[in-house]
Structure 1
Amino acid sequence: MIYIIKFLYSTFILPPGIFILVLIFICFKIHKFNSKFLKPLILFTFIFYAFSIPLVTDSIISSLERQYSPPRNPSADVIIMLGGGATLDTPNLDFKGHLSGYSSNRLLTVLQLYKKLNVPIIISGGKVFKSSGTESKIAENILLSIGVPKSNIIIDDRSINTTENAKYTSELLQKYGFKKPILVTSAFHMPRALLQFKKFKVTVTPYPTDYQTDIRKSFGTNDLIPSGDSLSKLSLGIKEYIGIFASKVY
C-alpha cells in the first residue's frame, strides 16, 4: 500500500506531474468552447509530458555519455579533474564548503585512479558565483583530509568555465612538464571538455564518470512517468549541446 501511495504522490502531486494534470484539465475545459487555442495547448502538453519522462530525457543525456568510455588499463603521469559546483559556507569536518554531486562523483573517480596510478592530481575549478565555493580548494581540503600529500595536489582556482579549465590546465601541464594527462569529468560533459582542450592543443585520455543513466538502457514502466529528475537531465543535455555548438563555432 505504501508503494502505491508513494507512486500516486510522486507522479500526480509533485512537479512536473501536477503541471501536466493541470494542463490536461484546462484542455478539457476549453474543449467545450471549441477554442482556437485547444490544438496548440494539446501539442504543448504532449511536448511537456514527453520531455518530462525518462524515456526521452535518458536518451538525450545518454547520447552524450556514450561517446567516450573509460580505458580498461589507464596510464598517465597526471590526473586532471574538472570542477562541477560547490557550496560556499556549509560546514565540513575542519573547513567549510561541499562539492556538488557532480564534483563529488568526479573526485571519487580521481581517488580511485590516484590509488592505481600514484601520480599527481590537478584540480581545476574556481569560484564561479559570489554565493558558491572555490571548487578546487574544497576538493583539495577533502584530498588532504584523507591522506593525499599536498605535494601531489596542484590546483587551478581561477577557472569559472570549461574554456578556462582547459586554458589554465594547459599552462600547468607545461609548467610541470606533464606529457600524458588523463581527464576526469562527468560523462555528459566529456565531449564538450575535449573540444576545449583540443583548442589549446592538449591531448588527454578521457576518463568519463558520474553517469546519469545506464549505458544499456532497458525499458520499464517508470520510463513513462514524469519526474523532476528528467527535467534536470533535459536541462543538462540542452546545456551541453549548446556548449558543443558554441565550442565548434568559436
Structure 2
Amino acid sequence: MNIANLLTQLVIPINFAMALLLLATVLLLFKKRKRAFSVTLIAVAWTWFWSMPAASIWLGGHLENQYTYQAAEHNPIADAIVVLGGHTANSRHNWFEAYDPEKTTTRIQRGASLYQAQRAPVIMVSGAALDGGTSEAQTMARYLKNQGIPSTAILIEEQSFTTRENALYSAKLLQEHQLHTVLLVTSALHMPRSAAAFRKENVQVIAAPVAPQITRPNASWLSIWLPSYQALNASRSIIKEYVGLLVYWIRGWI
C-alpha cells in the first residue's frame, strides 16, 4: 500500500472516528475525562461533516470544477487521446442518486466519443491488471474495438498502478510515437491531480474530463444538510484526491 492510500485509509471518516473513539476509551481508562470528551467530539464532528451532501458538493465540487466539461465535438484537436483506468463512484451519473446502469458514463466511453468526434487520430488506454488478471488497458482496448475503432489507432500502456505511473509510462510511450499534445480523459474529480502529473512529465495536456458527478440532487435545499450514509460512503473518493494532491506535491510529482 502506497503512502497516499495509507493516509486515505487513516482519515476516511469511519476509520478515523473509530481510531479516535479507541483513543478516547484509553483516555477514560487513565481518567482523562475532558480529553476523552474532546476526542469523542472530534470523531463525531468529522463523521457528521462528511455525512452531509453539502460537504461533498463544496469540497468535491471544488476539484471537479477546475476543468470545464465540454461535449466531445467542442474539444480542441490533439495528437492523441489518453484514457486513464479506474472508476469514480462506479461511474454513476450523480453521487446522490440511486445507481442506474443506464445512466453511467465511463472514462472509456468518453474517450471513444472524443475519437469518434475526430478530436485525435490515436487513443491510448492506460492501466495495469489490478487483480492480476486482464489489465484495465486491455479491457478498455477491447471496448474500443467493439465500437469500431481500429487496432492501429489504439496504444496500450498496461504497467501503471497509480496516477503517477499513468503519467510516467504514458509519457514514454507518447514520446516514442512523437505525440505531444493529448486530450486527457479521467473523472472530473481525478483530473486536477492527473493533469498536474502528466504536465510534470512534460506532456502538453488538454483536460477532457467525464461530466461532473457531484451535483446537487433534485431535492429541497434542506436535504443537502441532512446526514446521508451514501454521502459518507462516497466521501472517501474526495478525501483520496486531497490526500493524493498533498502527497504528490510533497514528493515533487506534480
Normalising by structure 2, report the TM-score.
0.71
Distance 2:217 2:208 in 1: 19
Q: Does 1:121 align with 2:123?
A: yes
Q: State the one-letter code of the partner of 1:110.
A: G
Structure 1: runs of 5+ lacking an equivalent: 1-15, 17-34, 87-99
CA contact (8 A) 1:58 1:230 kept: no
Q: Which moved more, 1:183-192 or 1:219-228?
A: 219-228
Q: State the one-letter code of the partner of 1:154.
A: L
Structure 2: runs of 5+ lacking an equivalent: 1-13, 15-32, 93-103
1:137 maps to what in 2?
Answer: 138
Identity %: 29
Q: State the one-letter code of the partner of 1:228.
A: Y
1:227 maps to what in 2?
Answer: 228
Offset of residue 148 of structure 1 = 1.2
Q: Does 1:101 align with 2:101?
A: no
Q: State the one-letter code of the partner of 2:222.
A: T
Offset of residue 63 of structure 1 = 1.0
Structure 2 residue matching 1:139: 3-state secondary structure: helix
CA contact (8 A) 1:187 1:208 kept: yes
Q: State the one-letter code of the partner of 1:222.
A: S
CA contact (8 A) 2:167 2:201 kept: yes
1:81 maps to what in 2?
Answer: 83
1:10 maps to what in 2?
Answer: none
Normalising by structure 1, report the TM-score.
0.72
2:55 maps to what in 1?
Answer: 56
1:196 maps to what in 2?
Answer: 197
Structure 2 residue matching 1:80: 3-state secondary structure: strand
CA contact (8 A) 1:60 1:234 kept: no
Offset of residue 155 of structure 1 = 0.7
Q: State the one-letter code of the partner of 1:126.
A: A
Structure 1 residue matching 2:156: 3-state secondary structure: strand
CA contact (8 A) 1:81 1:107 kept: yes
Offset of residue 143 of structure 1 = 1.3
Structure 2 residue matching 1:60: 3-state secondary structure: helix
CA contact (8 A) 1:61 1:213 kept: yes
Structure 2 residue matching 1:186: 3-state secondary structure: coil
Offset of residue 80 of structure 1 = 0.4
2:181 maps to what in 1?
Answer: 180
Q: State the one-letter code of the partner of 1:101.
A: S
Distance 1:73 1:210 in 2: 13
Distance 1:139 1:65, change over 3 A: same
Structure 2 residue matching 1:208: 3-state secondary structure: coil
Q: State the one-letter code of the partner of 1:44.
A: A
CA contact (8 A) 1:80 1:124 kept: yes
CA contact (8 A) 1:61 1:233 kept: no
Give the root-mean-square deviation of aligned CA atoms.
3.0
Larger Cα-atom Rg: 1
CA contact (8 A) 2:79 2:182 kept: yes
Q: State the one-letter code of the partner of 1:122.
A: M
